[in-house]
Chains A and B, each alone.
Chain A
Amino acid sequence: MIEEIGTTAEGDLVINIGPQHPATHGVLHLVVTLNGETIKKIEPHLGYIHRSIEKMCESLSYRQFIYVTSRMDYLSSHINNHACAMCVEKGLQIEVPPRAQVIRVLMDELTRIASHELWWGAMAMDLGAFTPFFHAFRERETINDIMEETCGARLTMNYMVPGGVMADLHPNFQKRVKDFIALYKSKISEYDELVTGNIIFQGRMKDVGFLSKEDAISYGCTGPIARGSGVSCDIRKLYPYEVYGQVEFDEVLETRCDSFGRYLIRLREMQQSIRIIEQLIDNIPGGDFQAKTKAVLKLPKGEFYARAETARGELGVYIISEGGTTPYRIKFRSPGFSNLSALDHMARGGKIGDLVATMGTLDLVIPDIDR
Chain B
Amino acid sequence: MFLKDYITDIYKGVKSLLIGMRRTGYYFTHHKEIITQQYPDNREELNLPTRFRGEVILLHDENNEHACTGCTACELACPNGTIKIITKFDVSPEGKKKKALDTFIYHLELCTMCNLCVVACPTDAIVMAQNFEHSVYDRSKLTKKLNKPGSKIREGIE
Is B22 a contact partner of A193 (Cβ separation < 8 A)? yes
Q: Which residues of A contact B23 (CB under 8 A)?
A: 190, 193-194
Is A141 a contact partner of B35 (Cβ separation < 8 A)? yes
- Pick out which of these stretches binds chain B: A9-17, A151-159, A237-245: A151-159
Is A151 a contact partner of B51 (Cβ separation < 8 A)? yes
B24 at the interface (CB under 8 A from A): yes
- For the complex, give the distance between the alpha carbons of A170 and B49 in Å: 10
> Given A149-B51, A199-B12, A156 and B112 touching (CB < 8 A)?
yes
Mask: chain A, 135-173; 1 = CB below 8 Å from B; 0 = not: 000100100000011111100101001000011001000
Which listed residue (B16, B48, B52, B78) contacts A197, Cβ 8 A? B16
Chief secondary structure at chain A's binding surface:
helix
Is B17 a contact partner of A138 (Cβ separation < 8 A)? no
Q: Which residues of B contact A65 (CB under 8 A)?
A: 79
A283 at the interface (CB under 8 A from B): no
- For the complex, give the distance between the alpha carbons of A141 and B37 in Å: 11
Is B114 a contact partner of A67 (Cβ separation < 8 A)? yes
Mask: chain B, 101-130; 1 = CB below 8 Å from A; 0 = not: 000000000001111100100000000100
In chain A, what residue has the closest Cβ to B24? Answer: A131
B 38-79 contacts with A by CB, 8 A: 48-49, 51-53, 77-79
Q: Which residues of B contact A151 (CB under 8 A)?
A: 51
> Given A60-B79, A197-B19, A148 and B112 touching (CB < 8 A)?
no
B20 at the interface (CB under 8 A from A): yes
- For the complex, give the distance between the alpha carbons of A156 and B116 in Å: 13
Q: How far is the CB of B139 from chain A (nearest CB, A)?
A: 21
Mask: chain A, 62-75; 1 = CB below 8 Å from B; 0 = not: 01110110000000
> Given A158-B114, A199-B12, A64 and B79 touching (CB < 8 A)?
yes
Which listed residue (B20, B116, B128) contacts A194, Cβ 8 A? B20
Q: How far is the CB of A162 from chain B (nearest CB, A)?
A: 12
> Given A64-B77, A148-B52, A153 and B19 touching (CB < 8 A)?
no
In chain B, what residue has the closest Cβ to A146? Answer: B49
Q: Chain B: interface residue count, which band?
A: 20 to 34
Which listed residue (B16, B19, B112) contacts A67, Cβ 8 A? B112
A 216-239 contacts with B by CB, 8 A: none
Q: Which residues of A contact B24 (CB under 8 A)?
A: 131, 194
Q: Which residues of A contact B22 (CB under 8 A)?
A: 193
- For the complex, give the distance between the alpha carbons of A153 and B49 in Å: 10
Q: Which residues of B contact A190 (CB under 8 A)?
A: 23
Q: How far is the CB of A168 from chain B (nearest CB, A)?
A: 11
Scoring A63, A150, A170 by chain B CB atoms within 10 A of each residue's CB, the highest score goes to A63
- For the complex, give the distance between the alpha carbons of A82 and B98 in Å: 42
Scoring B12, B16, B78 by chain A CB atoms within 10 A of each residue's CB, the highest score goes to B16
Q: Which residues of A contact B116 (CB under 8 A)?
A: 63-64, 67, 158
Which listed residue (B19, B51, B114) contacts A193, Cβ 8 A? B19
A246 at the interface (CB under 8 A from B): no
Q: How far is the CB of A296 from chain B (nearest CB, A)?
A: 9
- For the complex, give the distance between the alpha carbons of A161 and B115 in Å: 11
Is A152 a contact partner of B79 (Cβ separation < 8 A)? no
Is A198 a contact partner of B79 (Cβ separation < 8 A)? no
Is B119 a contact partner of A166 (Cβ separation < 8 A)? yes
Q: Which residues of A contact B77 (CB under 8 A)?
A: 63-64
Is B79 a contact partner of A199 (Cβ separation < 8 A)? no
- For the complex, give the distance between the alpha carbons of A295 and B128 in Å: 21
Q: Which residues of B contact A64 (CB under 8 A)?
A: 77-79, 116
Q: Which residues of A contact B20 (CB under 8 A)?
A: 193-195, 197-198
Q: Which residues of A contact B19 (CB under 8 A)?
A: 193, 197
Q: What are 12 A-to-B residue pairs whose CB atoms are below 8 Å?
A: A67-B116, A149-B49, A152-B128, A153-B52, A156-B113, A158-B115, A166-B119, A170-B51, A190-B23, A198-B20, A199-B12, A199-B17
> Which residues of A pack against B, CB within 8 Å?
60, 63-65, 67-68, 131, 138, 141, 148-153, 156, 158, 161, 166-167, 170, 190, 193-195, 197-200, 202
Known A65-B79, A170-B49, A198-B20; 18 more pairs at CB < 8 Å? A63-B77, A64-B77, A64-B78, A64-B116, A67-B112, A131-B24, A141-B35, A148-B48, A149-B49, A151-B51, A152-B51, A152-B53, A167-B51, A193-B22, A197-B20, A198-B17, A199-B12, A200-B17
